[in-house]
């Protein structure tokens, strides 16, 4: 059976080949640096397994173009980059990595928050660009005593709560499925989404992307927030309505934003390819322009979907991916996307 790994680095190839050897997994493994998408379909489509990351786009067109495809192990927790309906129609199995970077992503969220609250990037940029050590324009704010609203209290959410408690912050949370034991153990309270947004000085998003969370943060919900509030997003870009966020920031209805993810981030990462192959009906051009406005806002910090990116987390991803592949090969697939 042939497997193609898309979007891999040399160290990942070496790591996976070693794991396959250790666990006696017999596969014809091909490693590609390029991603898998409608614009990047390999010339040889004679493989049964396509292992991808979130930067690939396994659309219906891609699935149609791969006639032998039977299994998609994605090296990620989220799977909105895969057309599950199209996969299901072909009885293609999709496995995910449900747990790998709870602390990793939570740490990034607070890195973004600290960059905003203490103007760390502005200070660095000021010294680098002008040589000035003046702190007159760099006054920040304490996290101690502030209220942080955690939207989504799964694994990443509860790590964020633990970190917030370390900063002596007051924690409130929203989750459609509250974990009252967790609330008791960690010392926070659940409230409605509206109340969390109204009362929080900081809002951090830790929800999966699905129909129910599309534009969860929009013009209406942003209007509930304090004008000094900061919003942090390390979940998925479309959880926030980008145009609404830009307008709120420009109007002074929001204090700042720390974003590791963006709507249409795939286009932003490869705009030349979009110009060559993209079509307006497939991409929201207003959102793409709004992203560029965000780049230049002084109260916004953006990182390139990097929250997962530590060596330890990546190794955990690869370890689970190996287990997913091994389970599929013996006819008992695990960690199935639903």
- What tokens appear for 232 in the block? 């942090």
Tell me how far CA of residue 181 lies from CA of 93, 190, 245, 264, in angstroms. 34, 11, 34, 37
DSSP helix/strand/coil, 152: coil
Q: Give the HSE-up count for residue 121: Cα atoms under 13 Å, Cβ half-sphere.
A: 15
CB-based burial of residue 82 (10 Å sphere; 0-12 exposed, 13-18 middle, 19+ buried)? buried
Which of 159, 206, 305, 316 is the catalytic position?
A: 305
Which of 236, 243, 264, 316 is the catalytic position?
A: 236
Instruction: Name residue 233's beta-bridge partners.
Output: 205, 259
CB contact at 8 A, 199 and 191: yes
Which residues, 6+ apart, have CB-to-CB distance to 189 below 8 Å? 171, 172, 173, 183
Which of 12, 102, 264, 265 is the catalytic position?
A: 265
For β-strands 202-205 and 230-233, DSSP reports them as parallel
| Catalytic annotation present for 198 | no
| Catalytic annotation present for 236 | yes
C-alpha 274/C-alpha 282 separation (Å) is 10
310: left (phi over 0), alpha (psi -120 to 50) or beta: beta
| Catalytic annotation present for 17 | no
Nearest to 310 by CA among 100, 13, 74: 100
CB count in 10 Å sphere of residue 121? 12
User: Which residues are the active-site residues?
Assistant: 236, 265, 305
């Amino acid at each position: 059976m042939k497997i193609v790994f898309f979007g891999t680095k040399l160290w990942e190839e070496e790591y996976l080949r070693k794991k396959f050897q250790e666990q006696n997994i017999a596969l014809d493994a091909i490693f590609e640096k390029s991603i898998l998408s409608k614009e990047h379909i390999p010339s040889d489509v004679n493989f049964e397994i396509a292992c991808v990351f979130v930067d690939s786009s396994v659309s219906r067109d891609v699935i149609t173009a791969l006639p032998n495809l039977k299994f998609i192990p994605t090296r990620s927790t989220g799977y909105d980059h895969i057309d599950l309906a199209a996969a299901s129609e072909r009885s293609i199995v999709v496995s995910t990595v449900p747990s790998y970077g709870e602390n990793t992503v939570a740490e990034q969220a607070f890195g973004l928050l600290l960059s905003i609250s203490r103007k760390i990037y502005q200070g660095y940029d000021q010294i680098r660009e002008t040589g000035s050590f003046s702190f007159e324009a760099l006054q920040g704010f304490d996290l101690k005593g502030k209220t942080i609203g955690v939207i989504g209290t799964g694994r990443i959410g509860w790590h964020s709560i633990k970190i917030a408690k370390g900063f002596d912050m007051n924690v409130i949370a929203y989750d459609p499925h509250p974990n009252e034991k967790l609330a008791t153990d960690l010392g926070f309270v659940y409230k409605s989404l509206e109340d969390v947004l109204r009362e929080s000085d900081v809002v951090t998003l830790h929800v999966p992307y699905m129909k129910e969370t599309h534009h969860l943060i929009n013009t209406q919900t942003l209007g509930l927030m304090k004008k000094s509030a900061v919003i942090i997003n390390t979940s998925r870009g479309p959880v926030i309505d980008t145009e609404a966020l830009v307008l709120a920031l420009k109007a002074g209805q929001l204090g700042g934003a720390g974003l590791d993810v963006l709507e249409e981030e795939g286009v932003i990462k490869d705009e030349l390819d979009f110009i060559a192959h993209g079509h307006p009906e497939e991409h929201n051009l207003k959102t793409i322009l709004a992203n560029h406005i965000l780049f230049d806002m002084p109260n916004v910090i953006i990182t390139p979907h990097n929250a997962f990116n530590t060596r330890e987390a990546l190794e955990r991803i690869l370890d689970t991916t190996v287990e997913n592949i091994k389970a599929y090969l013996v006819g008992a697939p695990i960690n199935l996307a639903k």
